[in-house]
């Protein structure tokens, strides 16, 4: 597993203290199995699995903590689980679960993560999938069940210069 120095994790003060006590840096989280993390963090199995997933997803180029949290929100806990998935279907599933439609570039990130899970190609970033997404949506559109409300119409989002910010 490739480590990444700038991994961000939403750790509690106790979890941070446990890592310090065990002399473990966040960048090295992926060196441990989830059962080891469970013991090191003094956390539940589910929490250790979540922390590992959040770190692993951030090994994908241009994926940060927010998108890693989105993947966990969808119920994914490893890149391996995302192999053979479809970025457009993940987007549709995400929008259904959120109850609003999202910024189209988020679909590019779903496509990137699926590509990375299958190829381990570190040279691609989310914007490399923009044309593919545009072509697909022009040909196939969105599901009829797509939420009507946009992400920028929900609480917690600001809209600037016709672009949403996450």
Which pLDDT does position 4 carry in this prediction? 57
Please give the pLDDT value at position 8.
96
- The domain spans of the chain are 11-57, 65-166
Q: What is the pLDDT of residue 1?
A: 46
Q: Which residues make Cβ contacts (< 8 Å) with residue 147, sequence separation at least 6? A: 95, 96, 98, 99, 100, 101
> How many percent of the chain have pLDDT more than 90?
86
Q: Render pLDDT for 109-124 as a digit per residue (tens, 0 to 9).
A: 999 999 999 999 999 9
Tell me the per-residue pLDDT of 20-73, one tens digit each, with 9 for 90 and over: 999 999 999 999 999 999 999 999 999 999 999 999 999 999 999 999 999 999
- Residue 6 binned pLDDT confidence (cut-offs 50, 70, 90): confident
């Amino acid at each position: 597993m490739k480590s990444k120095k700038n991994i961000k994790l939403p750790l509690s003060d106790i979890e941070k203290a446990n890592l310090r006590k065990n002399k473990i840096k966040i960048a090295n989280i992926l060196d441990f199995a989830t059962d080891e993390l469970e013991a090191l963090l003094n956390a539940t199995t589910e929490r250790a699995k979540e922390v590992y997933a959040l770190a692993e997803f951030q090994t994908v180029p241009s994926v940060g903590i927010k998108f890693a949290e989105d993947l966990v929100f969808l119920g994914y806990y490893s890149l391996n689980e995302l192999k053979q998935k479809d970025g457009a279907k993940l987007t549709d599933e995400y929008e259904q679960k959120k109850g609003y439609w999202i910024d189209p570039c988020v679909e590019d990130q779903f496509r990137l993560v699926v590509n990375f899970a299958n190829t381990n190609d570190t040279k691609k970033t989310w914007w490399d999938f923009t044309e593919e997404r545009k072509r697909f949506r022009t040909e196939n559109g969105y599901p009829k069940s797509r939420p009507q409300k946009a992400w920028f119409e929900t609480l917690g989002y600001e809209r600037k210069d016709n672009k949403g910010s996450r």
